[in-house]
Amino acid sequence: MTYVAWLSLPNIYTAEGMARLDFDIVNIDMQHGLIDYSDAVPMVQAIKAAGNTPFARVPWNEPGIIGKMLDAGAKGIIIPMVNTVAEAEAAVAACRYAPAGARSFGPTMAATGDPQYYDTANDQVACIPMIETTEALENLDAILAVPGIDAVYVGPADLSITLGLRPGTDNSGSFDDALKKIVDGCKKHGVTPGIHASAALAKKRRDGGFQMITISSDRGAMAQG
């Protein structure tokens, strides 16, 4: 079981603080968070300095920013709104060096102190498309069959919206059916199922078969005092 902390605020102090807690991964949210590239680079360094594993959710499925975050030292990339096989293949290509992909070589920060980075990067970097629309559900089996996908990550709010529900809905049969379909598909293809959640929802999501669960965030920790 992998537990994730979520960062939305551009602050290296909170990044390091969250990284020193008992999480397996600390993710930098560059899509909906307030974090741009110049903020994210020192946050990656702070997370690594604390002995934790930095991931990044990039703003979009675009190879430039995916490559830059990998070069900065991110160990996993969460890619939003991956709805088709072609989009899944593009995500994998951006995360992998040839012949497995098309990532450009220049690991400015990632290779610091790691002379074997090139030899190990394709195996050590996680490519994680987001499944968060009905279109992605329709194409789920084919998406999960794309070589190089390590995990998928469910965006519950966007998934709810495309199912005709309000964001945050957690008591709908159609939503529960969608989550089950994702978990079952991941089991079939040997892909790790992940989901955005909370501490309150963690047990329910774990019991539902999810193996990578976001359970806390910097904003949430501040709100709780």
Average pLDDT over the chain, rounded to an integer: 97
- The pLDDT tens digits of the residues spanning 123-151 come to 999 999 999 999 999 999 999 999 999 99
With respect to CATH, is domain 2-224 assigned 3.20.20.60?
yes
Q: Is 189 a catalytic residue?
A: no
Helical spans, DSSP H, in the chain: 12-19, 37-49, 63-72, 85-95, 117-124, 134-138, 140-144, 156-162, 173-189, 202-207, 218-224
Confidence of residue 211 (pLDDT cuts 50, 70, 90): very high
**Catalytic-labelled residue, pool 24, 32, 62, 105:** 32
155: CB partners within 8 A, 6+ apart: 80, 130, 131, 132, 196
When mean pLDDT is compared across 82-91, 97-106, 138-147, 164-173, the lowest value belongs to 164-173
Contact between 154 and 131 (Cβ < 8 Å): yes
